Each structure stands twice: as structure tokens, then as C-alpha cells.
Structure 1
């Protein structure tokens, strides 16, 4: 049995991908340890060593880390939009071997036995494997394809 579907790598797809994947990623929480370390070292640099340049630099790094966390969604989507593949058509093929993703710039294959877990989100499926996570929107899938994916990945 073979299922094929296509979609376009555009800004709404990237926003959906980020929003649905974020709760399951390592980047869902700020790097508290790094922030605390930078603040402590910055204050130590200012008050303990008397080096205001070093201390201020470390405090500014902590501030920059906070800003990067706050703007992580638009930054990630902007990076995706600047990639060569942005705007291209992607063809997904689901068969007995696995999932094949092809477009003009990159071909990717994920075998069923490599999928460790399938997480169903509000808008799609999140496939976790050793190499990372792959998101597939339900907007491009029908119920028969979703059932096929769940059946093949759990075998």
C-alpha cells in the first residue's frame, strides 16, 4: 500500500511545525543554569574582581540569552524562510519501507523501525527517532494515511 501527498514549505507551515513541536523539544524551557551562571559570574566580575567590563559583558550575555529565548519562534521561522527549500513543493510517500520526503533540494527517508514514538498533536503527527523529530501536518493527511502510519510505526 502506498500513500502520496504534497505540501508547500511556506510560512504558515513553519509556524505550525514550530508550535506543535515546541512542547516536546528541549528548548521549551529557558536555560536556567546558564542564566544563573552568567549572572553570578557577572556580579562576581563587577564586585569581586572589580572588573566592570568583564562583569558587564557576562550580564549582557545573560540578557542576550533571555532575548534569544523570547524571540525563538520568529527567529526559527525566519531561518527556515531564508533556506533554499523555502517555498518549494515537498512530496511525501508512505510505503512498506517507511516515509520518503522529496523536493528539489533534499531527499529524506525515515524507515518504520527507526521511529521510536509517534506523538499525536492537535494539528499533526510528531515522529520521534534517534536522529530527531519530524512533524507531519494532519492538513495534508487523510484518516486512512494516519491509520497506516500508526499501524506501521508500532509494528
Structure 2
């Protein structure tokens, strides 16, 4: 039994992908330790070493880390939009062997035994494996396909 579906890698898909996978990623919270370390080193540079340039540089690195955290969503989506695969149509095939994804630029196959977890999010599925996570929107999946994926992933 095989199920096939297609979707386009466009900006709304990338936003959905980011929003749905963020709570399950390591980037969901700021790097508090790094921020405290940079500010402490900056203050030590200013007051302990009397080197205002070094201290200001360290504190500005902490500010830059905060800005990067705040704008991580538009930055990630912009990087995806600049990729050569942006705007291309992706074909997903679900069969007894696993999940196959292909477009004009890249193709990969994920075997069912390599999948460690399938997380149901409000708008899609997060397929976790050893090398990372893949997001699939529920908008492109039929109820039969969803049942097939959940059944195969739990075997």
C-alpha cells in the first residue's frame, strides 16, 4: 500500500514548519548561560581589566545574541526562501519501506525503523529520527495517510 501527495515549498509552508517544530527543538529558549557569561565577561573587562573596548564588545555580543533570538523566525524563513529548493514542488510517498521525499533539487528516503518518534502537532506531524526532525503538514495528508503513518511508526 502506498500513498502519494505533493506540496509546494513556499513562505506559508516554511512559517508553519517553523512554528510547529519550534516547541520541540533546542532553540525554543534563549541561551541564558551564554548571555550571563558574555555580560559577566563584559563587566569584568570594563571594571576588572579597565578595558572598555573589550567589555563593550562582550556586552554587545550579548545584545546581538538577544536580537538573533528575537528574530530567529523571520531569519530562518528568509534563509529557506533563498534556498534553491524554495518554490519547488515536493512529492511525498509513504509505503511499506518508509517515507520518500523528492523534488527537482533533492531527494531522501527515511525508513520506518529509523523513525524514533512521530509527534502530532495541531497542524502537522513531526517525524523524529537520529539526524533530526522533519515536518509534514496535515493539510496535505488524507486521514488514511495519517492512520498509515501512525500505524507504521508504532510498529
Report the TM-score range of the alignment, normalised by the length of the smaller protein: over 0.9
Long gaps (5+) in structure 1: none
The structural deviation recorded for 1:90 is 0.1
Aligned to 1:131: 131
Query: Distance between the aligned counterparts of 2:52 and 2:113, measured in 1?
Result: 55
The structural deviation recorded for 1:38 is 0.1
Give the match's secondary structure for 2:101. Answer: strand
The structural deviation recorded for 1:70 is 0.1
**How many residue pairs are counted as aligned between the two chains?**
155
Give the match's secondary structure for 2:4. Answer: strand
Query: Distance between the aligned counterparts of 1:41 and 1:90, measured in 2?
Result: 47
> What aligned pairs does 1:1-155 form with structure 2 within 5 A after superposition?
1-155=1-155
Query: Distance between the aligned counterparts of 2:42 and 2:109, measured in 1?
Result: 46
Give the match's secondary structure for 1:28. Answer: coil
Deviations, residues 27-82 of structure 1 (Å, cap 9, x unaligned): 00000000000000000000000000000000000000000000000000000000
Instruction: Give TM-score, length-normalised by structure 1.
Output: 0.99
Deviations, residues 70-123 of structure 1 (Å, cap 9, x unaligned): 000000000000000000000000001000000000001111001111110000
Q: Which runs of 4+ in 1 moved over 4 A?
A: none
Query: Distance between the aligned counterparts of 1:152 and 1:133, measured in 2?
Result: 17
Give the match's secondary structure for 1:27. Answer: coil
